[in-house]
């Protein structure tokens, strides 16, 4: 086992995913190699002296450090140095160009005159200066070492020539039209009216410092379709973490990020086969504050996560994640792709694993946010406000996914057990809710299904007759509330459902790797625990999405 294998050399597949695809190291390496090659061809730049060549440039003065703003200062002196050298080169070129026009240089002969020797010396100096500007030295990179732009895999980026410092600027923008054919009344309520909405608006920052220290943060200006008044219309920070990923099998991450239990939860929202996650998300934590070690072995043959977190409630949306008690939650997940090394096996894209958490919930929180349908429009279950956690909470989630050719399959089961009681006293009750989901997707066009980012074989170009990639998808999900919940009066059986069953069909049109149109129809049936149940019997949601991401 190669413990020292650097993390950047490993390609995660459907392991622990961030909101953005990983940095494409191939491109970084190519840029780095270009610079090294140039340096190799110019040995004198590295300090070796050759006749007629300007040797090691003067060391630059120390940078003026101004940290008043608490941010790393820009080294303007170094920039100024480059500028002056550049101006000098330009001025010199202009002078010599004018002189050469006035006095044409004589054709070179076998033996050169002293004047010509002098010109060769001057030319050497000019070439040396140009090398200094373009190539720089080991300590101070020249223009060729300052790299930025756009590439297909890295998107928009800025980086140092050796790739040790890297900044990437990804964006996710999802704009929806959500309609509810059943209207707002009767037994089929859409709680929210039909509306245009911005669901996710995330300008992200993804950076790496000194090669092995990685950071990622994003605000979200969307959050349009959330019933949570703490979230709607407010700027939220779903992710903000730092990571030391020197060893691929032992990466250390701290901050706010996705809890590593559910497989569906770990998929980036731009890569869902549907518009939102299934009902099972209601029994899993979303984002949490904590610390985690994790690692990937042999390109995903085996991967693990092990972390300690504040222990947010089961929630379908990310929250503040501040601790409500001193108790913490331990979360772990293992996942394997046993045939990942095979280039021919149809099971190469098969992966399975299990995630779980153990923790304690007390002090005024039930550990469970209101449960909502896949459309986010209807709350079908929530505990009474006088219910509080009273001890251990255990979640367990076996999971499997298989991607082969045009076909994508994903399934997961979640079981969440929680000790509860009424704040007014009374017996401590152990409730166990469970949920599962199974989904399948199939490309109608000749494209490849993936857990990650779909890359259409023929991006839309009407003039060439190319129309992108088309995919159909179907999902079934079910969530069962523990009947004990109603027996012990922890929730109102009149308005809270005992069971929710949801069927979703979707059509995805990937215009190219960045733009996608999605349509989902979601039908959810609700069953009450007793005849007292008088809330919605079902909900129908018809949703449309245009998504742009890079």
Q: Are strands 205-209 and 387-404 parallel, antiparallel or unpaired?
A: unpaired
Tell me the helices (H) and strands (E) count for the chain, helix number first.
5, 22
| 84 counts as binding another protein under rule CB under 8 A | yes
Buried (b) or exposed (e) across 438-458, using 16+ Cβ within 10 A? bbbbbbeeebbbebbebebee
Task: Let me know the angle formed at the C-alpha of 507 by 505 and 513, rounded to the nearest 5 degrees.
Answer: 135
Of 161 and 355, CB closest to another protein: 161
At what angle are helices 76-102 and 114-134 packed, to 10 degrees?
150
Please say whether the beta carbons of 230 and 258 come within 8 A.
no
Applying CB under 8 A, among 121, 187, 230, 428 the residue interacting with another protein is 121
Applying CB under 8 A, among 24, 158, 240, 394 the residue interacting with another protein is 158
Closest C-alpha among 281, 273, 259 to residue 414: 281
Closest C-alpha among 485, 467, 375 to residue 419: 485
Site residues for another protein, 188-217, by CB under 8 A, read: 192-198, 201, 203
Residue 151 neighbours by CB distance under 10 Å: 14
Rg (CA), the chain: 30
Work out how close the CB of 547 gets to another protein at its nearest, in angstroms, rounded to a whole number.
8
| 75 counts as binding another protein under rule CB under 8 A | no
| 455 counts as binding another protein under rule CB under 8 A | no
Work out how close the CB of 418 gets to another protein at its nearest, in angstroms, rounded to a whole number.
33
Work out how close the CB of 190 gets to another protein at its nearest, in angstroms, rounded to a whole number.
9
Work out how close the CB of 98 gets to another protein at its nearest, in angstroms, rounded to a whole number.
18
Of 268 and 330, CB closest to another protein: 268
Work out how close the CB of 475 gets to another protein at its nearest, in angstroms, rounded to a whole number.
25
Binding range to another protein, per CB under 8 A, among 15-23, 170-178, 332-340, 521-529: 170-178
Of 510 and 526, CB closest to another protein: 510
Applying CB under 8 A, among 6, 391, 459, 494 the residue interacting with another protein is 459
| 124 counts as binding another protein under rule CB under 8 A | yes
| 100 counts as binding another protein under rule CB under 8 A | no
Of 83 and 534, CB closest to another protein: 83
Site residues for another protein, 214-233, by CB under 8 A, read: 221-222, 224-225, 233
| 495 counts as binding another protein under rule CB under 8 A | no
DSSP 20-73: SPPP-HHHHHHHHHHHHHHHHH-GGGGT---TTS--SPPPPPPPPP--TTSSPP
Of 163 and 493, CB closest to another protein: 163
| Cα of 59 vs its chain's centroid, Å | 41
């Amino acid at each position: 086992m190669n413990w020292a294998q650097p993390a950047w050399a490993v390609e995660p597949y459907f392991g622990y995913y961030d909101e953005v695809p990983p940095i494409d190291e191939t491109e970084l390496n190519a840029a780095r190699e270009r610079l090294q090659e140039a340096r190799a061809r110019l040995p004198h730049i590295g300090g070796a002296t050759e006749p007629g060549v300007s040797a090691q440039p003067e060391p630059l003065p120390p940078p003026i450090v101004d940290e008043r703003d608490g941010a790393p200062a820009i080294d303007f002196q170094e920039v100024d140095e480059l500028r002056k050298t550049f101006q000098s080169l330009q001025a010199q070129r202009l002078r010599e160009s004018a002189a050469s026009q006035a006095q044409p240089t004589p054709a070179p002969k076998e033996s050169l005159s002293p004047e010509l020797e002098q010109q060769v010396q001057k030319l050497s100096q000019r070439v040396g200066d140009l090398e200094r500007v373009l190539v720089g030295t080991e300590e101070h990179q020249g223009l060729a070492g300052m790299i930025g732009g756009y590439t297909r895999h890295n998107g928009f980026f800025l980086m140092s020539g050796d790739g040790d410092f890297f900044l990437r600027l990804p964006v996710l923008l999802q704009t929806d039209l959500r309609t509810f054919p059943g209207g707002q009344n009767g037994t089929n309520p859409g709680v929210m009216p039909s509306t245009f909405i911005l669901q996710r608006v995330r300008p992200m920052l993804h950076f790496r410092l000194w090669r092995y220290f990685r950071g990622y943060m994003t605000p979200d200006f969307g959050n349009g379709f959330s019933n949570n008044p703490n979230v709607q219309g407010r700027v939220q920070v779903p992710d903000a973490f730092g990571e030391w990923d020197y060893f691929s099998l032992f990466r250390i991450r701290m901050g706010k990020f996705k809890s590593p239990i559910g497989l569906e939860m770990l998929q980036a929202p731009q890569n869902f086969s549907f518009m939102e996650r299934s009902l099972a998300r209601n029994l899993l934590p979303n984002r949490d504050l904590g610390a985690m070690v994790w690692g990937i072995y042999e390109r995903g043959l085996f991967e693990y996560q092990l972390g300690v977190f504040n222990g947010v409630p089961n929630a379908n949306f990310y929250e503040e994640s501040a601790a409500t008690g001193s108790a913490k939650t331990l979360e772990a997940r293992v996942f394997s792709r046993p045939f990942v090394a095979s280039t021919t096996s149809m099971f190469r894209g098969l992966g399975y694993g299990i995630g779980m958490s153990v923790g304690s919930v007390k002090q005024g929180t039930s550990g469970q946010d209101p449960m909502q349908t896949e459309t986010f429009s209807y709350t079908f279950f929530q505990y009474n406000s006088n219910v509080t956690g009273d001890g251990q909470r255990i979640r367990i989630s076996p999971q499997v996914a298989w991607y082969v050719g045009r076909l994508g399959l994903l399934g997961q089961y979640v079981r969440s057990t929680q000790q509860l009681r009424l704040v007014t006293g009374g017996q401590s009750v152990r409730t166990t809710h469970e949920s599962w989901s199974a989904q399948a997707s199939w490309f109608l066009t000749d494209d490849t299904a993936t857990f990650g980012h779909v890359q259409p074989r023929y991006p839309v170009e009407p003039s060439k007759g190319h129309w992108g990639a088309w995919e159909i998808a179907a999902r079934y999900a079910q969530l069962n509330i523990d009947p004990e919940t109603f027996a012990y009066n922890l929730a109102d059986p009149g308005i809270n459902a005992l069971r929710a069953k949801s069927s979703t069909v979707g059509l995805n049109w990937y215009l190219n790797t960045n733009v996608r149109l999605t349509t989902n129809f979601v039908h959810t049936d609700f069953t009450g625990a007793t005849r007292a149940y008088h809330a919605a019997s079902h909900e129908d949601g018809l949703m449309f999405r245009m998504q742009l991401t890079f």
